[in-house]
């Protein structure tokens, strides 16, 4: 055997014997399938309205996958699959609100039609969903983002170009969804805290939003803390 061939073979054998490096960890979490939402039951509407309130005293205890599933469906899920109608109304059915879900393990985008969570970021960013003390304690923080680009192709076929109208409608739509979350929380004995005090530029950067996507509000949901 020639010396060059011998050295080449030895090098290949040594390389094969070395342990392979593990692939670099992705900064994007895996998607999350949600249990089928339980759309029956709950307390009577008038009783729930009587108990609806804002509570900042939220425990850090995690919600079960089923409770999270029910919350997201109640807030902004699809209740008429044939038309993709939602549990909250939107003018001209534009459905421009994107619901970001901040959990301890990562940030996700709620996909209503598939009722699943699409991965956005790995890591705990709940404390960035508001500027007040205690924001990061709730196990779930919802962030409402309006994709104004969707007004250019409203489902009715009529585009809405007036930015004042877009802003007014988006604020109303986010409010409808937030109230759904509030009512679900009251029905299930959970605490909820809707927040207008959010750092929009910081969240936009964190979520890598396009210029047409606007952060509006956030909302924490979880069990009541023992002190409350």
Split the chain (228 residues) into runs of 10 and give each run's mean pLDDT: 45 40 49 92 96 97 98 98 96 95 98 97 98 97 97 76 96 98 98 98 98 98 85
pLDDT at 24: 36
- Residue 167: which region, alpha, beta or left (left: phi > 0; alpha: psi -120 to 50)? alpha
First CA to last CA distance, the chain: 82
Query: How far is 103 from 125, CA to CA, in rounded Å?
Result: 8
Asked if residue 145 belongs to a domain, the reply is yes
Asked if residue 162 belongs to a domain, the reply is yes
Q: List the structure tokens of 91.
A: 């003018």
Q: Give per-residue pLDDT as tens, 11-33.
A: 444 434 443 333 334 456 678 88
Query: How far is 89 from 109, CA to CA, in rounded Å?
Result: 19
Taking the CA atoms of 205, 210, 216 and 220 in sequence, report the sign of the dihedral they define.
negative
- The pTM (predicted TM-score) of the whole model is 0.86
Which CATH number does the domain housing residue 214 bear?
3.40.109.10
Query: How far is 158 from 155, CA to CA, in rounded Å?
Result: 7
Asked if residue 103 belongs to a domain, the reply is yes
Asked if residue 164 belongs to a domain, the reply is yes
CA 209 remoteness from chain centre: 14
Asked if residue 228 belongs to a domain, the reply is no
Query: How far is 162 from 166, CA to CA, in rounded Å?
Result: 6
pLDDT at 33: 87
Asked if residue 6 belongs to a domain, the reply is no
Q: List the structure tokens of 150.
A: 């969707």
Query: How far is 88 from 118, CA to CA, in rounded Å?
Result: 21
Asked if residue 1 belongs to a domain, the reply is no
pLDDT at 155: 62
Query: How far is 87 from 76, CA to CA, in rounded Å?
Result: 6
pLDDT at 31: 81
Query: How far is 208 from 210, CA to CA, in rounded Å?
Result: 7
* Residue 211 belongs to domain spanning: 29-223
Asked if residue 21 belongs to a domain, the reply is no
């Amino acid at each position: 055997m020639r010396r060059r061939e011998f050295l080449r073979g030895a090098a290949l054998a040594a390389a094969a014997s070395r342990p392979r490096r593990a692939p670099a960890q992705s900064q994007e979490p895996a998607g999350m399938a949600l249990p089928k939402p339980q759309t029956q039951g709950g307390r009577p509407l008038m009783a729930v309205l009587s108990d609806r309130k804002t509570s900042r005293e939220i425990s850090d205890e995690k919600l079960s996958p089923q409770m999270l599933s029910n919350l997201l469906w109640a807030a902004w899920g699809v209740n008429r699959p044939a038309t993709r109608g939602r549990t909250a109304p939107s003018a001209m059915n534009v459905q421009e609100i994107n619901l970001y879900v901040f959990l301890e393990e990562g940030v996700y985008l709620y996909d209503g039609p598939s009722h699943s969570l699409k991965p956005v970021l790995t890591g705990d960013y709940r404390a960035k969903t508001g500027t007040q003390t205690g924001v990061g304690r709730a196990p779930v923080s919802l962030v409402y983002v309006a994709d104004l680009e969707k007004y250019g192709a409203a489902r009715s076929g009529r585009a809405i170009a007036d930015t004042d109208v877009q802003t007014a409608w988006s604020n109303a739509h986010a409010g409808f969804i937030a109230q759904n979350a509030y009512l679900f929380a009251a029905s299930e004995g959970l605490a909820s805290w809707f927040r207008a005090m959010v750092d929009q530029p910081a969240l936009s950067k964190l979520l890598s939003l396009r210029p047409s996507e606007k952060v509006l509000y956030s909302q924490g949901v979880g069990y009541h803390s023992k002190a409350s």
